[in-house]
Homo-oligomer: A and B are copies of this chain.
Amino acid sequence: MSARTTGRRERLRQATLEEIHAAARKLLVEQGSAAVTVNAVAREIGVSGPALYHYYSGHDELVGAVTAGFFRELAGAMEQARDAQAGAPIAERLLAVCRAMRAWAIGHPAEFGWIFASPITPPNLRRDSARHQAALRFEQILLDLTVELWRTRQFPVPDLAGLPESQREQLTAFSDVIGGVLPPEAVHVFLSCWIRLYGLLCMEVLHQLDFVYTDLEPVFEECLRDLAGLLDLDYSRT
């Protein structure tokens, strides 16, 4: 059957793609970002360098695809944590997802480094890429939980009247982008939380706090407690 045989080719191709990703990841983890070269990846899977150009148009696209994979894995870990708490109160699900995010980041620092500071700079980064899609899925997880919280219990929101016009416009615009499931005021709270949570992780993984902290787990938990306070949720330690 032609479908079957075509399927076979396709399967082989997928297998090779997975080999490529695994090799790239191995190089990244073991030898750092700079070691992930087209040639090195090819060597790792036992083919000549140019062979990889049948799978990716070049180094940047390869890196982008691998990074997208990391993003998906991170999002998957967070979703799994969320689903493991399926019946639990929203507070616990939110905390579980945040902790899963950090756990993955700490467990995979090199990969997380690529996620938010990949060697490919913005101009070379297309907005329609798989990488971008994966980023959206990642952001969606905490957004969804926040929306659920908003719908069921709401949470305290600031008065936007005191904010500059431009900021209010941006918050309203984002509220529209997400279909109005959160009003601009709630978007503001969501973003505040996002910034503090993600910002802390960035600093940790980029070693910006090494000068004082060797273990940031308690700091992260403090951050979570603060955020729980902002969202009027019960904070409970693991």
The residues of A with any CB-CB pair to B shorter than 8 Å are: 32-34, 116-117, 119, 121-123, 139, 163-164, 166-167, 170-171, 173-174, 187, 191, 195-196, 198-200, 202-203, 206-209, 211-215, 218-219, 222
Q: Which residues of B contact A171 (CB under 8 A)?
A: 212
A196's closest neighbor in chain B, by CB?
A: B196
So how many copies of this chain end up in the complex? 2
A219 touches B195 (CB 8 A): yes
Q: Which residues of B contact A215 (CB under 8 A)?
A: 166-167, 170
Q: Which residues of B contact A173 (CB under 8 A)?
A: 212
Max chain B C-beta neighbours (<10 A), residue from A199, A208, A211, A215 = A199
Question: Can you list 19 contacts pairing A with B, beta carbon distance less than 8 Å?
Answer: A32-B123, A34-B119, A122-B207, A139-B211, A163-B222, A166-B215, A167-B218, A170-B212, A173-B212, A191-B209, A191-B212, A195-B199, A195-B200, A195-B209, A196-B196, A199-B199, A199-B202, A202-B202, A202-B206
A sample of 7 more A-B contacts (CB under 8 A), given A167-B218, A191-B209, A198-B208, is A32-B121, A34-B119, A163-B218, A173-B212, A191-B212, A196-B196, A199-B199
CA distance A13 to B170 in the complex (A): 51
Q: Which residues of B contact A167 (CB under 8 A)?
A: 215, 218-219
Q: Which residues of B contact A170 (CB under 8 A)?
A: 212-215
Interface residue from B34, B187, B199, B212 paired with A196 (Cβ < 8 Å): B199
Task: Say yes or no: A203-B212 contact (C-beta < 8 A), given A32-B121, A121-B32.
Answer: no
